Structure 1
């Protein structure tokens, strides 16, 4: 390894460590703070947090999470995902009560007692026509290599993902749910906010992309943040894919990789849909998401610090 490549590798590792929330049970939990906007301002740390599911948090994780001071948790998982994986483990909220909230396909909220109590919002974003969990279940249920290839091979898995990202933009209910997360982040008394889905990749990734773009972070950095999922989740993805092979569920488990990995083309498809239908991100913000300058001002006030110079 050359000195230049070694330095780049070290810098990448340091950035990952700096962004990590330190949750062993949520490997993709990270801070959006530190990114710079076009006008030189810097996102504050500890205010806007993105993550994979919180259902696997360990006992030590609960103390780490509590120290983050999160005021609001937004769970974007569908009802089926919550049923299959389990409800979030959120310090200050009884699991039984969380289950009652999360086992509903309607947007609901549950708050802990007291003025400083945490609030959990269940905002399911679910696309029946682009359900990667159904695709995964069908592929594993078949245990037929030819059928699995017919479902996922020849780029079909990637096309499912591209369709999902376009749906994020075209579906009115999905847009409403994404806009709700942005409003929560703009609430003057609502931060820190942690938003998540199952892997912290797709719905979480698009939410983060919307937020960073609205604040004026350049598109290259938006992609950089999105693709960090592949680094943070690499080990768990490798373990899952290998297990499908060793357990005899798939002859070629690599067919699943397009479902598990973040891909630049997926996020590009969502942005392309914005341009095609609304012409500009600003028009999409107003007419697609139904958000106004007051929400944008709230985001800037809550999330942006000084120029950092």
Structure 2
């Protein structure tokens, strides 16, 4: 089973092409059509993001992007505008998934930092994923429709760190394409390989607030159980990613057929 691997661009740590993943019917996902990454921003970068480097414009342009989907909340994208489309003048589309956004009123860490909760576990992260799937089906459907409408031209999806919101969008894409559950989970886990030990960046800050890093480690990592929870929810409530999109998101069958037509190739 193939897995996605990191694509090296200046300052970017979690960029990868979902192409090459195998499907259960013996085909594979086409390369250079859908990319996933963290935010590449032109200002106010934080630990989650990559900062645009003007002298590296040609490197960013090498992806040939025609569409960029930004899943961050409005306040995130306003504070640190996405620059992924800057080198290619790609179409920029915001599809905000605001729940859990860093620094927002629903920041995943807020319950711990405020003392309302002793920890944030991998199971809590899984519950967050399920909540997003329940609340934001229409937005996920719009992601699928946008990909289908791109007609196979290079497209990139990002949130802040490219870990959670992006992972759910990509998991739905892979589910529609017929990538196995194991393949989807391994793609999710790859973010943790590309960006290991992120929590060390915050250790001192947490210590000042009397928070142990082990109690919030899941927020910064890709625990397998979290994505398993999301996929189990889809299967138990809808039967498949396709049925979730048809029933909860209102996606048309023609759109799902189109995304398979543009993103699947024979091995």
- What is the match of residue 252 of structure 1? 212
Distance in 2 of aligned mates of 1:23 and 1:30: 10
Greater helix content: 1
- The structure that has the greater radius of gyration is 1
Distance in 1 of aligned mates of 2:219 and 2:86: 34
Root mean square deviation, CA, Å? 2.9
**Which digits, 9 at most, give the CA deviation of each residue in 1:112-159, with x for residues without a partner?**
xxxx8411011110226996963435655x6xxxx3xx5242xx4444
What is the TM-score when the length of structure 2 is the normalising length?
0.84
Shift of 1:70: 0.5
Distance in 2 of aligned mates of 1:276 and 1:189: 31
- Which of 49, 71, 90 lines up with 2:66 in the alignment? 71
Distance in 1 of aligned mates of 2:200 and 2:59: 25
Any unmatched runs of 5+ in structure 2? 42-50
Distance in 1 of aligned mates of 2:248 and 2:152: 24
Distance in 2 of aligned mates of 1:88 and 1:129: 15
Residue 240 in 1 paired to residue 189 in 2? Answer: no
Residue 151 in 1 paired to residue 145 in 2? Answer: no
Partner secondary structure for residue 157 of structure 2: strand
Residue 274 in 1 paired to residue 238 in 2? Answer: no
- What is the match of residue 84 of structure 2? 90
- What is the match of residue 31 of structure 1? 17
Pairs aligned (count): 257
Aligned positions of 1:51-200 closer than 5 A? 51-55=37-41, 56-84=51-79, 86-92=80-86, 117-127=89-99, 134-136=107-109, 139=112, 147=115, 151-153=117-119, 156-171=120-135, 174-189=136-151, 191-200=153-162
Aligned positions of 1:209-224 closer than 5 A? 209-224=171-186
CA contact (8 A) 1:27 1:233 kept: yes
Shift of 1:61: 4.2
Shift of 1:68: 0.6
Any unmatched runs of 5+ in structure 1? 1-11, 94-115
Partner secondary structure for residue 28 of structure 2: coil
Distance in 1 of aligned mates of 2:15 and 2:23: 22
